[in-house]
Amino acid sequence: MDKLFLPSHYKAELPLIENASKLIPIFITSKIEDLVGFLSKEQLSFASNVGFFDQGCKKVILSDYQGMVSAILLSDEKDLLFKNGSELTTLPPGEYYIAGEVSEALALETVMGFCFQYYSFDNYVSKKRKCEVKLCFPKNLQKLKIYSFLESEFFVRDLINSPSNFLNPDMFENIISLFCKEQKLELNSIVGNDLIVNNFPLIFEVGKASSYNPRLLEFSWGNPNATKVTLVGKGVCFDSGGLNIKPGSSMSIMKKDMGGAASVLGLASMIISMHLNVRLRVIIPIVENSIAGNSFRPGDILKSRKGSTVEVNNTDAEGRLILADALNYADEESPDLLISMATLTGSARVALGPEIVPFYTTSKMFSDFLIKGGEDSFDPLWQMPFYEPYERLIEPNFADLDNAPATGMAGSITAALFLKKFTENAKIFSHFDIYGWSLIAKPGRQIGGLMQGSRAIFEAINQMLLKHKNF
Ligand code: BES
Ligand code: ZN
Ligand code: ZN
């Protein structure tokens, strides 16, 4: 019941085929000229009669003279993201291919939409959904890259969707350890009291009330002399809010609070399988923000790894505390690019809604690559400012820093500013305040976990390396 694959294992599950002899064509166009020569006169007039060319009919299933499905017509009108691809899962069982001249972008969006719609988190349901549609992998797409995109997305969704009674901190470590074994990487883990010994006091404090030990995991990959890219992901396996307990309605989806860690793993998996020329380092603080007699309390003053003290204004602002120690640790070796991904604030959703990821970066050049990378890989994001004057919104009373603003204003920005204080040496620091979840079903995105930001970052790093060799 509790099954979770590693990224590479999802290949076998994908509804894609490489070659087949008898494939049904899918035409994605609304222009009759594109279809003349491919369809019979009768088929063309049928499509016209049902209003495909000018009356808003967006999908037509055509038959041959024997009554068998012989072609599919899909409108190329701009619609919701992944709409066309997701439609393919509802086609009659069969093997299909995208016919005609289709741009790389349209082919990619269609394949992603189809596979994402096909995804289902059915580990815990007895009645599995069935989809007997297979799509031939389009010739104009890069196989390695797209499979890696899809496998990472499935892996990340499974991780986020897994309930916290399965994906507790012990289990999360086990899964990351399997991931490392498969990649022949060494996983370093600092658990429980050893966090104190090794000077990670904030991670320890946040996670100490759980019956599962808090921990810090770390692995590295790649060419030690190449550009140093370090990823840090928030791994809160469940966020109850701590003593500042969340109301039931906000707590109900808090199994997703390890979405940053999951997205970092998805990104790492893409970087590794695409052999980017970087020295990759992944650092994941993992805790459960629980309530017990030994929970950290509002008003507590904690010492961070860096030495600065933090007053706990709100135990529900736990993410920035564990990330502070993890980022500070990552920053000590002065990486070229330091990235944090976290389901950090509710305010990020107020600002941009659940679908667009707000990101912060100290580099104009990297932000340009990110925007372009997001567009190219259908992973929408938007830049937000590290606006220093807002630091006064998080003025502490009795310590060097305060973990939560007293007012509800600019919550995502003040959280990002808090993190930035722990990253002095990194050449570029970028932070992604992701949601990692779809609250309502949309094309290719059923209710539940989502990988956000990772493809955009992958594309940005890849393009930056191609254009500038170094950062
Ligand atoms: N994990 C939450 C943020 C969150 C909430 C992400 C809902 C996505 C959806 C985080 O730990 C949190 O509770 N943040 C607080 C901070 C506040 C107390 C300063 C928030 O955003 O309300
Ligand atoms: Zn919280
Ligand atoms: Zn949280």
Distance 233 CA to ligand 1 centre (A): 15
Tens-digit pLDDT profile for residues 132-183 = 999 999 999 999 999 999 999 999 999 999 999 999 999 999 999 999 999 9
Distance 73 CA to ligand 3 centre (A): 45
Mean pLDDT of 46-50: 95
Mutation test of ligand 1: which of 345, 402, 431 has the most ligand atoms closer than 8 Å to its C-beta? Answer: 345
> Does position 81 have pLDDT exceeding 90, yes or no?
yes
| Residue of 234, 320, 420, 421 marked catalytic | 320
> Does position 469 have pLDDT exceeding 80, yes or no?
no
Question: Is 455 known to be catalytic?
Answer: no
Of all residues in the chain, the percent with pLDDT exceeding 90 is: 91
**For atom 22 of ligand 1, which residue has the closest CA?**
346
Residues with CB under 6 A from ligand 1: 239, 250, 257, 314, 316-319, 343-347, 404, 411, 435
The predicted pLDDT at position 54 comes to 86
- The confidence band for 471, taking pLDDT boundaries of 50, 70 and 90, is confident
The predicted pLDDT at position 182 comes to 95
| Protein residues with C-beta less than 5 angstroms from the ion ligand 2 | 239, 316, 318
**For atom 8 of ligand 1, which residue has the closest CA?**
346
b (16+ CB within 10 A) / e for 441-450: ebbbbbebbb
Distance (Å, whole) CA 385 – CA 345: 15
pTM of this structure: 0.97
The predicted pLDDT at position 155 comes to 98
Question: Is 127 known to be catalytic?
Answer: no
Residue where the block lists tokens 């580990």: 123
Mean pLDDT of 354-378: 97
Tens-digit pLDDT profile for residues 371-412 = 999 999 999 999 999 999 999 998 899 999 999 988 889 999
The predicted pLDDT at position 306 comes to 98
Of all residues in the chain, the percent with pLDDT exceeding 70 is: 100
Distance 119 CA to ligand 3 centre (A): 26
Tens-digit pLDDT profile for residues 335-346 = 999 999 999 999
CB 91 within 8 Å of CB 61: yes
The predicted pLDDT at position 434 comes to 98
Residue where the block lists tokens 């017509």: 73
